[in-house]
Structure 1
Amino acid sequence: MEAKKNPDVDLRKNSFFYLALGLALVTFLIWQGIEWTAYDKVAKQEAAEMLEDDEEEMIMTQQLQQPPPPPPPPAPEIIEVVEDEEEVEETVIESTETTEDEVIEEVEDVEVVEEEEVIEDVPFSIIEDAPIFPGCEKYSSKAERKKCMSEKVQKHVNRKFNTELASDLDLDGIQKIYVVFTIDKQGNITGVRSRAPHPRLAKEAEKVVKSLPRMKPGKQRGKTVKVTYNLPIVFKVQ
């Protein structure tokens, strides 16, 4: 025997309607949630903060402004005039015109004093008349005397220089020493300067050069002058 139900209380009769109504309600709520934002509140809050910052900047700007400096004091209206008590002598310009009665005196001859030409130290490489080393007088030409002097100076240094000094100083290889000296107007050796790898080598080179004999001074344009001489000393320590 089948159970009979009242068709008015059957819930399945309106189930599609309820489903459609529920979907429509949920869709409406989701749309409202998406459309709702808090832009107005955030914008108002940011605008309020910007106004506060502007007020602070305006206050700071007003505090940094300094008042303008006071105007300078006005110049005095009364100007005192100080009298100049010093007397200024006037320059009188005499006339240079001559008259018929004036006697013209003859001017004696004026002596012209020639200034002596000063010649500085001349390098040995360009000297006209090189200093003459003792023993080089036998040569007649200037070039031969110049060459003779260079050879004599080199022989003197090779004979007098203590080459064993470099070994005592634990130096090896090629040693180069540069010496500069001057032969003055009396033929003496002066102004000796040297540069070497060791101070003792430089001192030895100066001692040897100072022992050079007195020479006949050099000449430039027929006048006795000082002559500078550059002497390189090179030897090898074995």
Structure 2
Amino acid sequence: MEVKKTTKADLNKRTVFFLQIGLILVLLLAYFIVQWRSYETAEINQDQFVTTPIEELEIPITILPTPPPPEIPVAPDEIKLILDDEDIEEDPIKSSEIDNEPIAEMEDIKEVKKVVEVETVPFILIEDVPIFPGCESLSNNVERKNCMSEKITKFINKEFNTALGSQLGLKGINKINVMFKIDTNGDIVDIGARAPHPKLEEEAKRVIQALPKMKPGKQRGNPVIVQYAIPIIFKVQE
């Protein structure tokens, strides 16, 4: 069976073909137009663009001068010797230390009491004799002196160990010189004794130390120290 081509079918095919060709041409034309505009724009921009060279700034370099070397002291040519016997005046050096001790307040400063030396008066020169216990009723100074001497003698005769002489091998009459003081409080102080034997001196001091407390003597109305001396004499029986 033979296929017959109709004129209508052939026309349709040609129409489609030419349509495609036209479309391709339009696209190519549009492409070239776009490329031409882009190239022209690029050339214009390159002509108008002016490049300005950047000037380089010269920064001055500051050079610091080298410090001079320290001066070396030159030794003097002549050396002067100072002899030891020459006097050299030196300036006194004051201490730079700060005294941190607090300053004493007036309340902290205690009044220094003046030490008054008490006068010592011999018994025979005393104006107001010390009063021995039992002699208070006597108003006359002479009577008080006699009363005191009698009381002390009786006290020594009673308290002294007279047998000590025989025990020490002593013979005959023996004498002990005794001296003591009656202070401003009426107490016996500073007892001294001299005897043929140390044991006798110790015994004499023991007895005098045992004397009772007295009323102190006075000179010109003030209590004073009264010096008293008495010999102790005893005989050793053979």
Instruction: Report what 1:171 is aligned to.
Output: 170
The superposition leaves residues 178-208 of structure 1 with CA deviations (integer Å, 9 ceiling, x where unpaired) of: 1111101100011111000001111000000
Instruction: Report what 2:159 is aligned to.
Output: 160
After TM superposition, the structure 1 = structure 2 runs for residues 107-146 of structure 1, keeping only pairs within 5 Å, are: 118-146=117-145
The superposition leaves residues 39-63 of structure 1 with CA deviations (integer Å, 9 ceiling, x where unpaired) of: xxxxxxxxxxxxxxxxxxxxxxxxx
In the alignment, does 2:185 pair up with 1:183? no
In the alignment, does 2:194 pair up with 1:195? yes
Cα–Cα, structure 1 residues 175 and 138, in superposed 2: closer, same or farther, change >3 Å?
A: same
After TM superposition, the structure 1 = structure 2 runs for residues 1-238 of structure 1, keeping only pairs within 5 Å, are: 118-238=117-237
Cα–Cα, structure 1 residues 196 and 85, in superposed 2: closer, same or farther, change >3 Å?
A: closer
Q: Among the aligned pairs, what percent are the same residue?
A: 55
- The separation in 2 between residues aligned to 1:206 and 1:194, in whole angstroms, is 7
- The separation in 1 between residues aligned to 2:133 and 2:124, in whole angstroms, is 19
**3-state SS, counterpart of residue 125 of structure 1:** helix
Equivalenced residue count is 133
- The separation in 2 between residues aligned to 1:85 and 1:214, in whole angstroms, is 66
The superposition leaves residues 114-164 of structure 1 with CA deviations (integer Å, 9 ceiling, x where unpaired) of: x99744211111111110000001111111011100110000000100000
- The separation in 2 between residues aligned to 1:191 and 1:217, in whole angstroms, is 15
- The separation in 2 between residues aligned to 1:126 and 1:237, in whole angstroms, is 35
Structure 2 residue identity aligned to 1:181: F
- Quote the RMSD (CA, aligned, Å): 2.6
The superposition leaves residues 53-108 of structure 1 with CA deviations (integer Å, 9 ceiling, x where unpaired) of: xxxxxxxxxxxxxxxxxxxxxxxxx9x9xx9896xxxxxxxxxxxxxxxxxxxxxx
Instruction: Report what 1:98 is aligned to.
Output: none
Cα offset for 1:228?
0.8
Structure 2 regions of 5+ residues with no counterpart?
Answer: 1-79, 83-87, 92-113
The superposition leaves residues 181-238 of structure 1 with CA deviations (integer Å, 9 ceiling, x where unpaired) of: 1101100011111000001111000000000000000001110011111111011111
Cα–Cα, structure 1 residues 223 and 236, in superposed 2: closer, same or farther, change >3 Å?
A: same
Instruction: Report what 1:69 is aligned to.
Output: none
- The separation in 2 between residues aligned to 1:84 and 1:182, in whole angstroms, is 59
- The separation in 2 between residues aligned to 1:172 and 1:119, in whole angstroms, is 43
- The separation in 2 between residues aligned to 1:216 and 1:120, in whole angstroms, is 16
**Higher-helix-fraction structure:** 1
Structure 1 residue identity aligned to 2:142: A
Cα–Cα, structure 1 residues 203 and 211, in superposed 2: closer, same or farther, change >3 Å?
A: same
- The separation in 2 between residues aligned to 1:214 and 1:177, in whole angstroms, is 23
- The separation in 2 between residues aligned to 1:133 and 1:85, in whole angstroms, is 70
- The separation in 1 between residues aligned to 2:90 and 2:128, in whole angstroms, is 70
Instruction: Report what 1:90 is aligned to.
Output: none
Cα–Cα, structure 1 residues 84 and 206, in superposed 2: closer, same or farther, change >3 Å?
A: closer
Structure 1 regions of 5+ residues with no counterpart?
Answer: 1-77, 87-114
